[in-house]
Structure 1
Amino acid sequence: MDRHIERFADLVVRAGVNVQPGQGVVVDTDTAHLEIARAVVEAAYAAGAAWVEPNWSDGPMQRSAVDHLTVGQLSASRPWALTRINEWRDAGVASIALTGDADPHLFDGADPARVAARRHEEIQARRRALFDGMRWCVVAAPNPGWARQIFGEPDTERLWAAVSTAMRLEADDPVAAWRDRSATLATRAQQLDKLELTEVRYTGDGTDLTVGLLPQTRWTGGGLVDRFGIDYLPNIPTEEVFTSPDRGRADGVIRVTRPMVILGQLVTGLRVTFEGGTIVEATADQGADVIRAQLATDEGALRLGEVSLVDRDSRIAKAGIVFHNTLYDENAGCHVAWGQSFPFAVAGGPAMTEQERADLGLNMSGIHTDVVIGGDGITVTGTGPQGTATIIRNDEWVL
């Protein structure tokens, strides 16, 4: 087995979802990731998994669905799928998702409304399951299509080199390296919690955005701990400290500093304006239609569900390339996300009902879209009872 793939799989299983003996594992993957998926399944069984169930998707099959089905058909929920998700949650199953666009032009020429259609009831059920009892890890799997998007050719060897830098696969012990990094990010989150911030402000080239925070906001950095006290990393790589804001308090403009692939389409030069917590304008040099279609998903799609802090010490930034993958590029610099918020972003949030979270000010939506606004020149300040503090200055953590 390729050394990169073996280390990748071991990291995802042992540090990502932290598979425990006797546990069930679900692996969501595309057919383009077959070799990597096999390695992940092997690593899960080696860690003691009782069973591993792969859930396969396939790009051309997805395009067939978009071309032939209506928006209503593409968004209709399936009762059997909802039942299965709830059973996974109750059983404490671990969830691994291998992402990475095998064909970034898969949906070129397709109806944006159909491309944006999602089975939102199933998505929300899966999110509730993840927040309520499942350990999960989302990680991008290298493939020729992803390499072509970055380099203009399917150079997977070069992509693996960049991924190895970002994922610390070249460390003597990648799992230990990630636990060290997770501890650093957790310390940053604790620093922010002590400030009891009521708002954060991002300023940089083309960006000036002020976002309000909720009472008893809690920042998260590194990993999470499930209901059984087992630690895990929901995303690998991760370089961020983040929380969810007050959905009604966001004002200003952002300039997205990295290209991104949204619903299979490239978006560049994105600029977004917020007023009173709501997105009131979104323009882009390329891909504006797919952004607008996504923002029309539901009311919460127009409001923020996350604010995040990342500085130049990020391994993704040090890799020196645009990955054209949100899981990577969001960790190259400060970012925000519109859509679904995190229940653990406030004290007591996980124990609240969805209605209680909404009443408090957390956002609810069927989407969650991260966009990078950081990089050289970005400054982030936070205001609270102790006054205004500079957190990041010129892309460097200074708090």
Structure 2
Amino acid sequence: MTFHDNLAEYADLIVQVGLNVQPGQYVQIHTTLDSVEFARLVVKQAYKAGASHVDVQFSDNTITRAFYEQAPDASFDDVPKWVAAQRDELIDRKGALLWIDAEDPDLLEGIPATKISRYQKASSALLKRYRKAVMNDEITWSIAAVPSGKWANKVYPEVSEQEAIEALWNKIFEVVRVGQGTAVEQWKAHIEQLNDRAAYLNSRNYTALHYQATDTDIVVGLPKDHIWMSGSSVNSDGVAFIANMPTEEVYTLPDRMRVDGYVTNSKPFIYQGNRIDGFKLTFKDGKVIESTAQQGGELLNELLTTDENAAYLGEVALVPFDSPISNSNTIFYNTLFDENASNHFALGEAYPTTIQGGKGLTEEQLLEKGANVSIVHEDFMIGTSDMTIDGILEDGSREPIFRNGNWA
């Protein structure tokens, strides 16, 4: 297949499997100017699938950087209300939302962490209804990615920008199973395998997981009614979609008050256009009580103090070290890819869908069930080739889940 064939197959895969666009459905796409050409392909495929309207909002990295560098101080506590109105219409129309990620991993490097944190808080407060709709799978949503020059050069710094873009395209095609003309069929089979993993873990009903690796020794409690899920979700109308493309994980929520020990990141964590790396988090009774970082420590502390529950975990996800993205031997500097190459945790909010009866519960009811509630949800990678994970049963006995970084 040619490059253009691959592009067309990728766009079709996103529309058919990622979004699973339904006849008459409203679609919103958010992306940057770096992905204009690919966005046009997705729009055409969405209309081909029967979409009623496809609206695209483009951002520009230079303009975004200018906001953080030059906007008046009060601007970082003020988000335009039309942003919420746009998402409200998406929810009211039961639409589908696609993020096409082409961000520069270093976009906000050097920007004061307090500016980033303040705007994050203001955005989250304004978009509370939207966040709830996403976390509860009320709407269809999906994230995919295409290369930009700066992102590609971050991944492949030793070659020219054009060569880097070509290399990153090839790597993306590889890990999303594009290139043989059978991507849709391959994804359906792949999701079935992940569903089988989730079903097995649900049948065991572990009360806790014990992670051990170099510089990691942590016990993560699991709520009584936790649910393991694959990358396949179902919206409020019963339509399946894939939130992350690619996805290699099965995941659930931890008991927010039963996390004890320490964990070290295994891949860089890109947060708000900055790199946080070489960090270690120590937990007691669920909360991070100590954090250190070789890079990005100030921003990490801002993240942990975003609200009163940002320092608790909201997700635990299992990804074997021997998996397509990990085996690519590539650090993508993009959480969408790097989290699917590694076991990972998420700080902040838990998905209500990962606990029985969680959809539609109030924040207080979720907290009572052991689910964390926060305005942030940020994944960071912890998986290594020497990681072992034991599942702890109600009677205290243990079963191997991972050995040497892979399913036992």
User: Which TM-score band (shorter chain)?
Assistant: over 0.9
1:239-258 superposed matches below 5 A: 239-258=248-267
For residues 100 and 201 of structure 1, the distance between their equivalents in structure 2, rounded to whole angstroms, comes to 36
For residue 197 of structure 1, report the CA deviation from its aligned partner. Answer: 1.2
1:268 has 2:285 as partner: no
Tell me which residue corresponds to 1:396: 406
Q: Deviations over 1:263-319 (max 9, x none)?
A: 111222121111111112222221212211222211121110100111034211121
User: Is the Cα–Cα contact under 8 Å of residues 95 and 136 in structure 1 kept in the other structure?
Assistant: yes
Q: Deviations over 1:67-101 (max 9, x none)?
A: 23466532434444333323321221001011132
Tell me which residue corresponds to 1:14: 16
- Which residue of 46, 63, 78 maps to 2:48? 46
- Residues 364 and 73 from structure 1, CA distance in 2 versus in 1: closer, same or farther, beyond 3 angstroms? farther
Query: Which stretch shifts more, 167-176 or 301-310?
Result: 167-176
Secondary structure of 2:278 counterpart: coil
Q: Deviations over 1:306-338 (max 9, x none)?
A: 001110342111212111110100011111010
For residue 141 of structure 1, report the CA deviation from its aligned partner. Answer: 1.8
User: Is the Cα–Cα contact under 8 Å of residues 146 and 169 in structure 2 kept in the other structure?
Assistant: no
Tell me which residue corresponds to 2:154: 149
For residues 72 and 345 of structure 1, the distance between their equivalents in structure 2, rounded to whole angstroms, comes to 38
For residues 70 and 290 of structure 1, the distance between their equivalents in structure 2, rounded to whole angstroms, comes to 21
For residues 230 and 354 of structure 1, the distance between their equivalents in structure 2, rounded to whole angstroms, comes to 26
Tell me which residue corresponds to 1:291: 300
Aligned partner letter, 2:223:
L
Tell me which residue corresponds to 1:161: 170
Query: Which stretch shifts more, 231-240 or 124-133?
Result: 124-133
Tell me which residue corresponds to 2:317: 308
Aligned partner letter, 2:106:
H
For residues 53 and 375 of structure 1, the distance between their equivalents in structure 2, rounded to whole angstroms, comes to 41
Aligned partner letter, 1:126:
Y
1:356 has 2:365 as partner: yes
- Which residue of 356, 364, 372 maps to 2:381? 372
Secondary structure of 2:210 counterpart: strand
Tell me which residue corresponds to 2:232: 223
Secondary structure of 2:309 counterpart: helix
User: Is the Cα–Cα contact under 8 Å of residues 309 and 334 in structure 1 kept in the other structure?
Assistant: yes
For residue 180 of structure 1, report the CA deviation from its aligned partner. Answer: 0.7
Stretches of structure 2 lacking an aligned partner (at least 5 in a row): none
- Residues 150 and 132 from structure 1, CA distance in 2 versus in 1: closer, same or farther, beyond 3 angstroms? closer
RMSD: 1.7
Q: Deviations over 1:204-224 (max 9, x none)?
A: 111111111111110001301
For residue 375 of structure 1, report the CA deviation from its aligned partner. Answer: 2.1
Aligned partner letter, 2:150:
G
For residues 27 and 289 of structure 1, the distance between their equivalents in structure 2, rounded to whole angstroms, comes to 32
User: Is the Cα–Cα contact under 8 Å of residues 378 and 395 in structure 1 kept in the other structure?
Assistant: yes
For residues 357 and 92 of structure 1, the distance between their equivalents in structure 2, rounded to whole angstroms, comes to 24
1:34 has 2:43 as partner: no
Secondary structure of 1:172 counterpart: coil
User: Is the Cα–Cα contact under 8 Å of residues 86 and 129 in structure 1 kept in the other structure?
Assistant: no
Aligned partner letter, 1:122:
L
Tell me which residue corresponds to 1:122: 126
1:204-219 superposed matches below 5 A: 204-219=213-228
For residue 200 of structure 1, report the CA deviation from its aligned partner. Answer: 0.9
Q: Deviations over 1:345-373 (max 9, x none)?
A: 11111132233112222111121111111
For residues 69 and 297 of structure 1, the distance between their equivalents in structure 2, rounded to whole angstroms, comes to 22
- Residues 250 and 70 from structure 1, CA distance in 2 versus in 1: closer, same or farther, beyond 3 angstroms? farther
Aligned partner letter, 2:320:
D
1:382 has 2:382 as partner: no
For residues 365 and 143 of structure 2, the distance between their equivalents in structure 1, rounded to whole angstroms, comes to 28
Aligned partner letter, 1:92:
K
Aligned partner letter, 2:399:
A
- Which residue of 236, 240, 243 maps to 2:245? 236
User: Is the Cα–Cα contact under 8 Å of residues 13 and 44 in structure 1 kept in the other structure?
Assistant: yes
For residue 109 of structure 1, report the CA deviation from its aligned partner. Answer: 2.0
For residues 70 and 59 of structure 1, the distance between their equivalents in structure 2, rounded to whole angstroms, comes to 19
Aligned residues: 397
Secondary structure of 1:193 counterpart: helix
Aligned partner letter, 1:281:
E
User: Is the Cα–Cα contact under 8 Å of residues 263 and 290 in structure 1 kept in the other structure?
Assistant: no
Aligned partner letter, 1:257:
S
1:21-100 superposed matches below 5 A: 21-69=23-71, 73-100=75-102
- Residues 395 and 39 from structure 1, CA distance in 2 versus in 1: closer, same or farther, beyond 3 angstroms? same
- Percent of aligned positions that are identical: 33
Tell me which residue corresponds to 2:289: 280
- Which residue of 184, 195, 204 maps to 1:186? 195
For residues 75 and 376 of structure 1, the distance between their equivalents in structure 2, rounded to whole angstroms, comes to 43
- Which residue of 143, 165, 172 maps to 1:138? 143
Query: Which stretch shifts more, 336-345 or 73-82?
Result: 73-82
User: Is the Cα–Cα contact under 8 Å of residues 253 and 350 in structure 2 kept in the other structure?
Assistant: yes
Q: Deviations over 1:213-243 (max 9, x none)?
A: 1111100013012222211101010000101
